Amino acid sequence: MPKPLPVVDPVPTAVACCSPLEHAPLSADQAQQLAARLKALADPSRLRLVSLLLGSEGQEACTCDVTEELGLAQPTVSHHFKTLAAAGLVTGERRGTWTYYRVVPQAMADIARVLDVSCD
């Protein structure tokens, strides 16, 4: 196994009121954790994937639904879903032949809150 896709834990639930970026400087570990989540989002294909999920019927979609729209091969889409899931940004549920993915809004909001440094 070349690398077990670290599976980021829940999300560092912003400590106090504002962004933890402002106060105590990020430790190397904290920075590593946050960077892992941001890196999962920092790809055009994955951003479009998230966007497609949010804009789909019932805010969910299966791989075959988005493959064509993204112009990517099926394994590539599957790989991106795996990356997003490992970061906790989406969840996948198998229903029959298809696997339906949906965004985890809380995970997105948590990241957004950490980045919002305009509350001072």
Partner DNA sequence: GTCAAGCATTGACCACCGTCGATTTCGTGC
Partner DNA sequence: GCACGAAATCGACGGTGGTCAATGCTTGAC
Residues near its own copies (CB under 8 A) are: 21-26, 28, 31-32, 34-35, 38-39, 41-45, 47-48, 50-52, 54-55, 69, 103, 105-106, 108-109, 111-118
84 binds, among DNA, its own copies, none (CB under 5 to 8 A by kind): none
Burial class (CB in 10 A: 0-12, 13-18, 19+), 23: exposed
Indicate whether 27 belongs to the interface with DNA (CB under 7 A): no
DSSP letter, residue 43: S
Stretch 55-74 residues interacting with DNA (CB under 7 A): 62-65, 67, 71-74
Instruction: Tell me if 114 sits within 8 A of 14, measured CB to CB.
Output: yes
Phi, psi torsion values for 92, nearest 5 degrees: -115, 140
Instruction: Tell me if 50 sits within 8 A of 103, measured CB to CB.
Output: yes
d(CA 6, CA 95): 26
**32 or 76, CB closer to its own copies?**
32
92 binds, among its own copies, DNA, none (CB under 5 to 8 A by kind): DNA
- The contact set with DNA (CB under 7 A) reads 1-3, 39, 42-46, 62-65, 67, 71-76, 78-83, 92, 94, 96-99
